[in-house]
Structure 1
Amino acid sequence: MTSDDALSAWWRMFGRPPRVMGLDVARAFAIVGMMGAHAAGIDESFALADPSSWAGIVHGYPSLLFALLAGFSVSLMTRLGQVADEDIAAVRLRMLGRGITIFAIGVFLELLSTPIAIILTLYGVLYLALIPMLRWRSSWLVLLAVALGLLGPLLLAVLAPLPEDTLGPVLEFLLRGSYPITVWLFFALIGMALARLPLQRAVTALWFTAAGAALLVSAHALAALPTGDRMLSAAVFDLEPHSGSMLEILAALGMGSLVIGLCLLLARPLRWPLLPIAALGSMPLSAYTAHVVSYFVMAGPDGRLASMDILLLSTVILLVMTTAWSILWRRGPLETLAARAGDAVAVLANRR
């Protein structure tokens, strides 16, 4: 039986795609990285040539890795050959329900008034934005991503000097927050295209790893070039976290590809030791929400945490809780909620 036959059989039996352990491990690293940015008090400076600054990788890179993995997840849910043409409408409706649910959870977390820049509101919007593109060819996805990677940073650089609230609440949220939709859509589209490659093959993981390392090194080398123009620097050369520049996108894509490639390579020989990490990564919505709520409980509204001990303790607790939950119920609680909301939307639409 080929890997595609196995995927098809799984889909027919369980109604959902099988999990790819390496992607779950990578997703867990993204979540823990974001936790580090929130709670560990790590300086934001990160220079590839300065090992003493490498802890600063938790700023910016993990959230963009999360966006890249979102594209993988969407593509695996709608993979050509596993979803019949007549079923794609139901898949789109389920994505609509999931996106709305994720957005609602994000709004709830925003109301806690922590200093954390909540990713789930934009993540929900991203789900909705990808619905029209589910059947696009990989070449179309990459072409749109390239256009966003080139034009998006220019747009963000033009908008940056404008006073706050100039664009109105919706466009301010989509374009001038910590997570601009142009950047996240770039990563999601690339993730959708990459997920259609044979992820079970070691050669694919090796290509991800090598290409990712090359992109990361190239981006940091180019960022060292002198530039005197403010607009050019903001649009192209700025490697500060969440800058949205071309080189930040290139560096984050390289880092994301490198992490995913390594996780795919290590998932098979280190399957048993990595199971708790994969369990955390298999329920990112629940784990991220638990982190934000626990942060609120410990720090209170507008309070800040800056302790590596808190990060380590929180990570261990999450690993234990998600592993136990995975053993007992497989899918995370908020993942179940989002899936059922998607199913409900599909059922209600079919009754009309």
Structure 2
Amino acid sequence: MGITNISSTEPEEAGHEGPGESPTHAKHARAIDLKPQKRIEGLDIARGFALLGMITVHLIPWDVEIGVSVFHDLFAGRAAALFTLLAGISLALITGGSTPHTGKRLRRDRVAVATRGLILLVFGLALNSLAPGDISILPYYGVFFLVGSLFIGLRTRTLAVLTGILIVAGPAVVHMALWAEGFDSVRSSTLPELFTSPLNTVYSLVFIGFYPAATWITFVALGIVLGRIDVQDLSVQIKLMFFGGLTAVCSALASEVIVYHFGVLDRIIEATPWEYSDIMFALDYGGETVPGYSWWWLMVDNPHNNTPFSLLDAGGSAVFMVGLSLLASRVLARELSPIAAAGSMTFTLYTAHLLALKIDHSELQIMWVCINIAVAIAFAYFWKKYIGQGPLERLISSASKSAARAVVPRV
């Protein structure tokens, strides 16, 4: 359940499973597929917190003299990873959950997911054209969905193995991609750039951008794995919290020990032609893909570093947050309903947030963060209460389902 708010409440139309399926069974399958399903409130809560975390990171002021704020330390990289993990969980839920779709239904699923990806990619690039310079995950999200459309048909065990491989191979691919000449990381790719510099735009989105698909697709794969199990089971939720938190803490500690107590820091300094202060700032705060000067940089764990340790840290934190949110929904559903409402329409709210970034808020600073969060929650709460599905969510859902029906008709 990511920015586009795919959820189990939006089942795709069922189709015939194959030539051997009886009419009665096909009719029964359609009835099951079209039956409204209750939203998983805990996932909406998790997505709501992810949205608020990203708003906070984008708006909270930095003070280099005293270091990055505690909010940045908590949310940078982790909020976006939670978004992406939830997208993977949603892909699993709408494609059958623990009993994945096959045959024509799977083909229809692929078309629907790929359509969402294309819409997000184009929409995100167009939005960047209106607000250049701001880092938006939307174009990258589009790429995640396009790749995710290929993952949804894989077996759970295969996906689990693939996730493990991506944790190691993804950062290595990104690191080698940095050596290629003629390509530059684009901070905020725009739609015109897709036509004027198509190769550089694609290369940035896939390999060397702020959320490169080569590494961030790991969270999608992991999310699909989680979506294939019963996340509403209490024991599963407790395990998600325990193992997610353990992974995040252990990966952060392991990186710290390796870098600062096994001579890796000295090797990084020797291989990197930067000022010492710049190296230490990158080690302390991250913010972008690590430099390609030395493989030792892959031992670092910081937001958006795209290293194995940063993937484990952010991914473990995201899994922990999913488990916590699911547990919280059991006892605090009413109290957290405004957060859940925001989480049900993150595509709409995130788009509005990106546009609001262009407003000069230098005189407000922290107050502007509070205003953004309050407006987002209030709008979502009343819109969901009186209208229902978010406006952009409704449009992208309708478009993807229409494309799926047109490309893979029921009969």
TM-score, length-scaled by structure 2: 0.75
Answer whether contact 1:214 1:254 (CA < 8 A) is retained: yes
Deviation at 1:18, TM superposition (A): 3.7
Answer whether contact 1:44 1:59 (CA < 8 A) is retained: no
2:117 maps to what in 1? 99
- Give structure 2 stretches of 5+ with no counterpart: 1-7, 12-28, 185-198, 269-293
Of 51, 60, 73, the match for 1:56? 73
Question: How many Å separate the matches in 1 of 2:378 and 2:70?
Answer: 30
- What letter is aligned with 2:92? S
Deviation at 1:233, TM superposition (A): 3.0
Answer whether contact 1:219 1:250 (CA < 8 A) is retained: yes
1:341 maps to what in 2? 399
Aligned counterparts, 1:268-279, within 5 A: 268-279=330-341
Of the structure 1 ranges 20-29 and 103-112, higher mean CA displacement relative to structure 2 is found in 103-112
Of 120, 143, 157, the match for 1:139? 157
1:74 maps to what in 2? 91
Of the structure 1 ranges 92-101 and 119-128, higher mean CA displacement relative to structure 2 is found in 92-101
Report the 3-state secondary structure (helix = DSSP H, G, I; strand = E; otherwise coil) of the residue aligned with 1:23.
helix
Of 35, 40, 53, the match for 2:60? 40
CA RMSD, aligned part only?
2.8
1:329 maps to what in 2? 387
Answer whether contact 1:11 1:82 (CA < 8 A) is retained: no
Q: For each residue in 1:39-87, what CA deviation from the matched residue of structure 2 results, as whole angstroms up to 9, or x when unmatched?
A: 1114699x9xx9x846422211111111111101111110254746432
Instruction: Find runs of 4+ consecutive structure 1 residues off by over 6 angstroms.
Output: 7-10, 303-306
- What letter is aligned with 2:59? A
Question: How many Å separate the matches in 1 of 2:387 and 2:158?
Answer: 38
2:44 maps to what in 1? 24
Of 55, 59, 65, the match for 2:82? 65
Q: CA 1:147 to 1:44, structure 2 compared with 1: closer, same or farther past 3 Å?
A: farther
Aligned counterparts, 1:83-162, within 5 A: 83=101, 85-160=103-178
Question: How many Å separate the matches in 2 of 1:350 and 1:34?
Answer: 37
- What letter is aligned with 1:234? W
1:243 maps to what in 2? 305
Of the structure 1 ranges 283-292 and 153-162, higher mean CA displacement relative to structure 2 is found in 153-162
- What letter is aligned with 1:132? L
Answer whether contact 2:100 2:153 (CA < 8 A) is retained: no
Deviation at 1:116, TM superposition (A): 2.3
Of the structure 1 ranges 23-32 and 152-161, higher mean CA displacement relative to structure 2 is found in 152-161
Deviation at 1:185, TM superposition (A): 0.8
Answer whether contact 1:39 1:306 (CA < 8 A) is retained: no
Deviation at 1:172, TM superposition (A): 2.2
Larger Rg: 2
Aligned counterparts, 1:290-309, within 5 A: 290-296=352-358, 298-299=359-360, 307-309=365-367
Question: How many Å separate the matches in 2 of 1:218 and 1:69?
Answer: 22
- Give structure 1 stretches of 5+ with no counterpart: none
How many residues are treated as equivalent by the alignment? 337
2:221 maps to what in 1? 189
Q: Identity, % of aligned pairs?
A: 26
2:247 maps to what in 1? 215
- What letter is aligned with 2:208? R
Question: How many Å separate the matches in 2 of 1:74 and 1:305?
Answer: 42
- What letter is aligned with 2:325? C
Question: How many Å separate the matches in 1 of 2:34 and 2:64?
Answer: 46
Of the structure 1 ranges 164-173 and 208-217, higher mean CA displacement relative to structure 2 is found in 164-173
Answer whether contact 1:115 1:304 (CA < 8 A) is retained: no
TM-score, length-scaled by structure 1: 0.87
2:230 maps to what in 1? 198
Deviation at 1:163, TM superposition (A): 5.4
Question: How many Å separate the matches in 2 of 1:44 and 1:61?
Answer: 21
Q: For each residue in 1:264-311, what CA deviation from the matched residue of structure 2 results, as whole angstroms up to 9, or x when unmatched?
A: 101011010111100100111111001111222x13xxx979822111
1:260 maps to what in 2? 322
Q: CA 1:172 to 1:203, structure 2 compared with 1: closer, same or farther past 3 Å?
A: same
Q: CA 1:275 to 1:260, structure 2 compared with 1: closer, same or farther past 3 Å?
A: same
Report the 3-state secondary structure (helix = DSSP H, G, I; strand = E; otherwise coil) of the residue aligned with 1:330.
coil
Deviation at 1:168, TM superposition (A): 3.1
Of the structure 1 ranges 36-45 and 150-159, higher mean CA displacement relative to structure 2 is found in 36-45
Answer whether contact 2:204 2:212 (CA < 8 A) is retained: no
Q: CA 1:295 to 1:240, structure 2 compared with 1: closer, same or farther past 3 Å?
A: same
Report the 3-state secondary structure (helix = DSSP H, G, I; strand = E; otherwise coil) of the residue aligned with 1:268.
helix
- What letter is aligned with 2:304? H
Question: How many Å separate the matches in 1 of 2:160 and 2:44?
Answer: 23
1:229 maps to what in 2? 267
Question: How many Å separate the matches in 1 of 2:343 and 2:57?
Answer: 18
Deviation at 1:19, TM superposition (A): 2.0
Answer whether contact 1:41 1:305 (CA < 8 A) is retained: no
Aligned counterparts, 1:153-172, within 5 A: 153-160=171-178, 165=183, 168-172=200-204
Question: How many Å separate the matches in 2 of 1:155 and 1:83?
Answer: 32
2:375 maps to what in 1? 317
